[in-house]
Structure 1
Amino acid sequence: MNRRAVNATDEADLDEYEADVVDDDPADVYEDDEIYDEAPGAPRSLGLILTIGGILGFIGAFVLTIERIEMLLDSSYLPTCSIDSVLQCSTVMTSSQASVFGFPNPLIGVFAFPLVILTGVLVLARVALPSWYWLWFLVGTTYGLLFVGWLIPQSLYEIRALCPYCMVVWACVIPIFWRTLAYTLAGGHFGERVAGNALVRVIGRWWWVLTLVTYAVVLTLVLTAFPYYFF
């Protein structure tokens, strides 16, 4: 084969390669990325927060329930979280605020946190839950935050005592709410128009900052309510 024939063969191969590249669908090039982006289910971080927060919250609520039962059975029983005049679970648990609906508040957590745990596990398993589920779940977490937001000042300024197990529940409810709110809004469960809103996008990205700010506010309230104890 002469030089001219070899060059013609090389040019033909080059033309065929260029044609293949041009004909390739751009979507094929990023196929793996698209498959990842379209994977069902919510973000893994949401699943972790719901699972871990749900477990810790359930433990706190369950222990509080057991302690309350012990107090009902034995009026002289001293809860394990009654440490001193400020860290005093018994004072908190015998207050009227501890049974807002006619039964001990921790029972709400005993029944609610398993649902939070289940939701977290389903998210980690990449199960795609419907929008109606997330909307109702957000209603539940919003109620939880509002209830905790009411109990905190009651504990600080009315009861004048802190319950360590209660504070564990506080610490769990706060990130559960903010992460759920961020995902439900930014994840399109309220519609694409809401998901594209600038404020919603900020919440969706900076939910963890909102969580830290909420922690800082609660910590400030606790420190200022009992300055003689902490300083």
Structure 2
Amino acid sequence: MSAPVIDARPKGLAIFLVLAGSIGWIAAFALTLDKFQLLQDPNAQLGCNLSILVQCGVNLNSWQGAVFGFPNPLIGLGAWIAPIVVGVSILAGARFARWFWIAFNVGLLGALGFVIWLISQSIFVLGTLCPWCMVTWSVTIPSFIAVTAFTLKQGILPSSPGVRRIAGVVLSWIVVVTLACYLVVAIIAQLRLDVLSYL
């Protein structure tokens, strides 16, 4: 017996996934080009190196920038294709089985966990804010929140009626929830790095 297919076609979510995936992919591509430039010339002045605090070079040259033995941006080049494909597929009329949504949600959870770790390393260890990295952070966070809220609201992830209602509220207020997450990161960065003094 085949897995049940979820009937809902969340077009708004689909459009968001295409946009977020595209933005994330562009950021990964830019970081990949910068890494190539550093490999050719370790002293290269990257376009994203705006100051001692705001730069990509330190992050790209650190071990955290290649935690799996190869540059992290290569992960983004491959991974950001997934939300783009999912979004385009939904807009084209596709409906996915429950297992697919769960797998997709788990993948985004892994992405969020990796991003949180990278944020902590950037702020507390490297002492820098990488512009293209921040672009990646800025789309990973709402992507996870939006897909998780959708799967909870639809009952794809087992949840009570109360949780489904809360998920629906989160989904309708996704911009506010995302901005609140950004604010938390900004406050942590300010407390640790005194960002405002560099402006």
CA offset at residue 40 of structure 1?
4.3
1:110 corresponds, among 63, 70, 77, to 77
The letter of the residue matching 1:210 is V
Aligned to 1:164: 131
CA offset at residue 106 of structure 1?
1.0
What is the distance in 2 between the residues matched to 1:186 and 1:76?
Answer: 50
What is the distance in 1 between the residues matched to 2:198 and 2:101?
Answer: 40
Aligned to 2:27: 60
CA offset at residue 118 of structure 1?
0.7
1:137 corresponds, among 104, 107, 128, to 104
2:167 corresponds, among 192, 196, 203, to 203
- Is the contact between residue 153 and residue 163 of structure 2 (CA under 8 Å) also seen in structure 1? no
Q: Which runs of 5+ in 1 are unaligned?
A: 1-38
The letter of the residue matching 1:200 is R
- Is the contact between residue 57 and residue 113 of structure 1 (CA under 8 Å) also seen in structure 2? yes
* Percent identity for Structure 1 against Structure 2: 36
- Is the contact between residue 134 and residue 189 of structure 1 (CA under 8 Å) also seen in structure 2? yes
What is the distance in 2 between the residues matched to 1:48 and 1:230?
Answer: 36
Report whether the alignment pairs 1:222 with 2:189: yes
What is the distance in 2 between the residues matched to 1:76 and 1:217?
Answer: 34
2:57 corresponds, among 90, 106, 109, to 90
- Is the contact between residue 53 and residue 198 of structure 2 (CA under 8 Å) also seen in structure 1? no
Aligned to 1:149: 116
- Is the contact between residue 38 and residue 44 of structure 2 (CA under 8 Å) also seen in structure 1? yes
TM-score (norm 2): 0.89
Question: SS where residue 164 of structure 2 aligns?
Answer: helix
- Is the contact between residue 124 and residue 192 of structure 2 (CA under 8 Å) also seen in structure 1? yes
What is the distance in 2 between the residues matched to 1:189 and 1:125?
Answer: 21
1:18-59: CA deviation from partner (whole Å, max 9, x where unpaired): xxxxxxxxxxxxxxxxxxxxx944312211211100000000
Aligned to 1:127: 94
- Is the contact between residue 71 and residue 77 of structure 1 (CA under 8 Å) also seen in structure 2? yes
RMSD: 1.7
CA offset at residue 197 of structure 1?
2.9
Aligned to 1:173: 140
What is the distance in 2 between the residues matched to 1:127 and 1:72?
Answer: 42
What is the distance in 2 between the residues matched to 1:148 and 1:53?
Answer: 15
Pick 1 or 2: higher relative contact order, CA cutoff 8 A, min separation 6. 2
What is the distance in 2 between the residues matched to 1:131 and 1:181?
Answer: 13
